[in-house]
Amino acid sequence: MTHPAPALDIRSDICWSDETSVTVLGRDLCEDLIGSVDLGTFAYLLLTERMPSEAEAALFNAALVSLVEHGVTPNVLATRMTYLGAPESLQSAVAAGLLGLGTRFVGTIEGSARYLADGLVALGPEATDDAVRAEAARIVAGFREQRAHVPGVGHPVHTPVDPRAEALLGLADRLGFPGTAGRLVRAVAAAASEASGRHLPVNVTGAIGACVVLLGVDWRIARGMGVIARTIGLVGHLREELAQPIATTVWNVSDESASRHLRG
């Protein structure tokens, strides 16, 4: 006697489909979303399970735009070089670039969003400047005890300020978001600068960390905003690699340079 296999006890509330429709978080994809919302708004819906207000949509989209492109970065090089070896697999080349979004590049959104979220809970809604500075000093001291870099501050190129960070924080102010997150990330940058003896401005991932908190995005998926944004940039670099290839030159020049001392 055969018995039917037990049903898997799993659940997802994100999406379901039938012969004539696709429903995403209770909204008909074809009737309510396609042609009615932009990609950033749809992304916000998936990350928070609600549609953004006009101000939230503006800030979320701006945060994504700020990270799409930053030149021939290590992530871009990984993508271009992988495409050189596997041109049949564009997605693998893009994935290679995304794999490097960690604690040095782009992924610092997660770290800054985490300490800002925790700091705002500790401070409460009516934090004084002294309280914000004290919380910032506590945050920086915690990273220094671990001999770890403070996420969201400092940049090798942009000094004395990261213009992307200033644009995002200024936009959040103009859109009427509460100012404590921006005050705290600026105070963290000031405390880190004082502790290290060198100027460390708020960088773009620090500003996006503040946006994450203001937008109600869970800090544990905040790095995903960098993944969403940088994916677009990496595909753009592959478009350019097809028209103006540089991967072979980078390979040949690197190989010649690295082995020059062996050639006599």
Domain count of the chain?
Answer: 2
- Residue 213 falls within a domain, yes or no? yes
Helix (H, G, I), strand (E, B) or coil at 71: coil
Q: Are residues 134 and 196 in the same domain?
A: yes
Q: Distance (Å, rounded) from C-alpha 207 to C-alpha 186?
A: 9
Tokens matching residue 37: 């919302």
162: domain CATH number is 1.10.230.10
Q: Distance (Å, rounded) from C-alpha 93 to C-alpha 77?
A: 10
List helix spans (H) across 53-128: 54-67, 74-85, 90-98, 108-123
Residue 52, domain extent: 23-67
Q: Are residues 116 and 63 in the same domain?
A: no
DSSP 86: -
- Residue 33 falls within a domain, yes or no? yes
- Residue 180 falls within a domain, yes or no? yes
Contact assessment for residue 103 and residue 109, using Cβ atoms and an 8 Å cutoff: no
Q: Distance (Å, rounded) from C-alpha 60 to C-alpha 121?
A: 22
Q: Distance (Å, rounded) from C-alpha 30 to C-alpha 235?
A: 26
Q: What is the CA radius of gyration of the chain?
A: 22
Dump pLDDT digits (tens) for 9-53. 899 999 999 999 999 999 999 999 999 999 999 999 999 999 999
Q: Are residues 120 and 30 in the same domain?
A: no
Q: Distance (Å, rounded) from C-alpha 260 to C-alpha 258?
A: 6
List helix spans (H) across 99-128: 108-123
What is the model's pLDDT at position 1? 62
Contact assessment for residue 168 and residue 220, using Cβ atoms and an 8 Å cutoff: no
- By residue count, the chain amounts to 264
Q: Are residues 112 and 213 in the same domain?
A: yes
Helix (H, G, I), strand (E, B) or coil at 252: helix
Helix (H, G, I), strand (E, B) or coil at 43: helix
Q: What is the CB-side half-sphere exposure of residue 105 using CA atoms within 13 A?
A: 17
What is the model's pLDDT at position 141? 96
- Residue 135 falls within a domain, yes or no? yes
- Residue 119 falls within a domain, yes or no? yes
What is the model's pLDDT at position 158? 85
Dump pLDDT digits (tens) for 169-195. 999 999 999 999 999 999 999 999 999
- Residue 184 falls within a domain, yes or no? yes
Q: Distance (Å, rounded) from C-alpha 207 to C-alpha 170?
A: 10
What is the model's pLDDT at position 190? 97
Task: Pick the last residue of a domain from 67, 84, 119.
Answer: 67
User: Could you tell me where the beta strands, DSSP code E, fall in the chain?
Assistant: 15-17, 22-24, 27-28
pLDDT in tens, the chain (264 residues): 667 777 788 999 999 999 999 999 999 999 999 999 999 999 999 999 999 999 999 999 999 999 999 999 999 999 999 999 999 999 999 999 999 988 788 878 999 999 999 999 999 888 899 999 999 999 999 999 999 999 999 988 888 999 999 999 999 999 999 999 999 999 999 999 999 999 999 999 999 999 999 999 999 999 999 999 999 999 999 999 999 999 999 999 999 999 988 886
Q: Are residues 53 and 120 in the same domain?
A: no
Q: Are residues 132 and 190 in the same domain?
A: yes
Q: Name the percent of the chain in helix, strand, coil, to the closest 5.
A: 60, 5, 35
- Residue 264 falls within a domain, yes or no? no
Count CB-CB contacts under 10 A for residue 237.
23
Q: Which of 230, 243, 245, 252 minimizes the C-alpha distance to 97?
A: 230
Q: Are residues 207 and 147 in the same domain?
A: yes
- Residue 12 falls within a domain, yes or no? no
Tokens 């290839």, located at residue: 245
Residue 120 Cα distances to 55, 124, 127, 208, 213, angstroms = 21, 6, 9, 15, 9
Q: Distance (Å, rounded) from C-alpha 156 to C-alpha 64?
A: 21
